Amino acid sequence: MNSGLRDDLVAADGPLKGCQITDVSAVGGGCIHQAWQLRLSDNRQLFAKTGAADALALFDAEAEALTALGQYADSDVLVVPQPLSLNQLPHGAVLLLPWLPLGRGDQHALGRGLALLHQASRAHNPQRFGWHRDGYIGAGPQPGGWRKAWGDAFVDLRLRPQLQLLKRLGMDAADVVVLLQGVADRLNQRDISPALVHGDLWGGNASSLMDGRGSIYDPASWWADAEVDLAMTRLFGGFGESFYRSYDAVIPPHPGANERVDIYNLYHLLNHANLFGGGYIDQSRACLRGLARTMNS
């Protein structure tokens, strides 16, 4: 953390006015912004995410999603860190959160907590799918908007915008249009209620805590099929069998869930292709072609 931003935090008009920062340690894991553990003279520990001035928009979307998720989380089993401060300072943007003592324990509480969050949010859902504002999925754009039907929401708000950004697939545009309509039609047949989802649930955005509870953070939330969170947990690994068993004990799998994993994870492959290129473009193309074969079978 640069000295200017550190001074900004404890300035007379800063979020840590009256405090003294006794230690700053870099925290690894992020690929977009910088993350830090702050130790204060009053023995508090905080998590700080920092970036340039234009990072404030991303931090604002993240803070709003954390607040929304926190409304439905059972804190006895799942901790969603709640924003302490969001600031545009002279030397950059900062989001302050509670420090979480991460562990490597069993993921039973993590799975149960996520299921309870999905279940509780369904009871207060907005009767439509989407989100009220534009946001971000990592550093990529995640459009806001609403649709009454789930398939229309997933295609219009997630798949199609990513495909419009990606120009290097080398696939016939007419074939892609047919595929997207097939995906929308298939998902529209599902009789489901919207759930508030984390939206970017890979292993780096979830953990067990030292006290045994689970925790989720760095979300890209929206009202969606709860299965989109479970699908992403299978994309990059990091989730064990106890996670899935405890989730399923609260919300049993719906018929055809395994067949929908590739559909839902196509969104994240396309986003990674747009952000990082390389092999993600090949994976996206292979996934699209595989889904096309499935739709035609």
Q: Which residues are catalytic?
A: 200
Q: Please provide residue 40's backbone torsions phi and psi, each rounded to the nearest 5 degrees.
A: -105, 160
HSE of 262 in the Cβ direction (CA atoms, 13 Å)? 16
Helices (H), the chain: 3-10, 56-70, 108-122, 150-154, 160-165, 173-188, 227-233, 241-250, 257-276, 279-296
CB 33 within 8 A of CB 50: yes
CB 264 within 8 A of CB 233: no
Shortest CA distance to 9 belongs to which of 100, 64, 90? 90
CB 116 within 8 A of CB 250: yes
How far is 96 from 46, CA to CA, in rounded Å?
7
Tell me whether strands 222-224 and 195-197 are parallel, antiparallel or unpaired: antiparallel
How far is 95 from 81, CA to CA, in rounded Å?
12
